[in-house]
Homo-oligomer: A and B are copies of this chain.
Amino acid sequence: MPTVRFEGPDSTNPLAYRHYDADRVVLGRPLRDHLRLAVCYWHSFVMNGADPFGAPTIARPWMGGDAMAAARAKADAAFDLFRVLDVPFYTFHDRDIAPEGDTLAATLANTRAVGEVLAEKQAATGVKLLWGTANLFSHPRFMAGAATNPDPDVFAWSAATVKTALELTHGLGGANYVMWGGREGYETLLNTDLKRELDQMGRFLALVVDHKHRIGFQGPILIEPKPKEPSKHQYDFDAATVYGFLRHYGLEKDVKLNLEENHAILAGHTFEHEIAVANAFGILGSLDVNRGDPLLGWDTDQFPNDVPQLTLAFHEMIKGGGLTTGGLNFDAKVRRQSIDAEDLVHAHVGGIDVCAQAFLAAARLVEAGKLAGAVAERYAGWDRPGHAALGGSLEEIAAAAEARALAPSPRSGRQEMLENIVARA
């Protein structure tokens, strides 16, 4: 399949970019460097369409047969898709790229062996690793958690696994290392010592941070919040929860967040909210740009297709300074009925174009400055010289308030007018 090219908004080619002109310079940088798009290994090359009520529907040539040979065939297919889409980055879990072995040692050896294949392919293609991570949730040994497992042997297994995945990520020049704790939570408090499990998770993260420094990995460790599913409750519920956790264990300097829209809405938040919270605490790392279905209670991991919604998210992202080591990762899968290989290409092409459109719209909002101006004007009273509100004690502020016979009069929040500005961008 030929590489997908930018052909402009009037193209009738279903497999062309209409908006993603990678070299277009906006806000001082090419679009490519703003978006830092990444294809993920798991949904695109591992996902087989099984769901809780049905068997696999999707078969790919590299599925089945000898596990290590299949892993190499999968890597070939993956880098071919990266070429077709012309994306600069990819992401993986250790178990996406390499199979479980008979023992811990054999499993880690598999990871390292396929890692060498990936290193060669990166060198040959120029595609880079946005982040690596370890799958600490699929195998039954993790059913009661990895770091938070009641069995310390699972903690140790997880430690060895993350060490290898982090080192591989480092070796492959990965820009970040991600941790998603799908099983770090509980099914019922009746069998759970919540405080002990948080301590275990804090200790684990501290070990990883320490190791990152030891090996000289420059990128941040990123935690990916999700409130539930598969666990009844996951400890990394949302951005604010993870921030509290990091503060409790003194890790807020070394750890940032990888945020996802679908996880945000499962937690009751918009995507832009999670980004704004992360920015407020200085811990925004990277983004997963799938979309969820607000009417369904599970992670649907669909490709993005709503420009207005993503515009709001990217607006917050730009306001916070944009992505540095992070990127936009398509943690998105084709639907179970989209069984053709071509569906995978359509899905990414559409998603990439939606990201480009939304970013360009957000950039226009920032450049026009109307939103920023309206916000600044709204809080302008706080910047009056000599204002007493933030100085003095409660007593002093109260005394001044009574003395001045305060009578604050409400002012319009102008929400609809501001929404119109966004809609017009």
Contact = CB atoms under 8 A, between A and B. Distances in A.
Interface in A279-337: 279-281, 293-299, 303, 305-309, 312, 316, 334-337
A32 interface: no
Contact of A152 (B108, B297, B387): B387
A408 interface: yes
Contacts of A402: 104-105, 108, 160
Interface string A116-147: 00000000000000000000011111111000
Contacts of A214: 393, 395
A1 interface: no
Contact of A240 (B196, B241, B349): B241
Given A346-B417, A381-B150, A397 B187 contact: no
A378 interface: yes
Contact of A337 (B244, B293, B308, B410): B410
A230 interface: yes
Contacts of A164: 398
Given A155-B389, A240-B241, A379-B150, A410 B141 contact: yes
B277 A208 contact: no
A401 interface: yes
Interface in A255-282: 265-270, 272-273, 276-277, 279-281
Interface stretch (A33-41, A46-54, A79-87): A46-54
A18 interface: yes
A155 B396 CA distance: 13
Contact of A230 (B51, B227, B280, B397): B51
Interface in A363-407: 371, 374-375, 378-379, 381-382, 384, 387-390, 393-395, 397-398, 400-402, 404-407
A343 B207 CA distance: 36
8 contacts: A14-B420, A140-B410, A150-B378, A156-B398, A164-B398, A196-B379, A244-B281, A305-B420
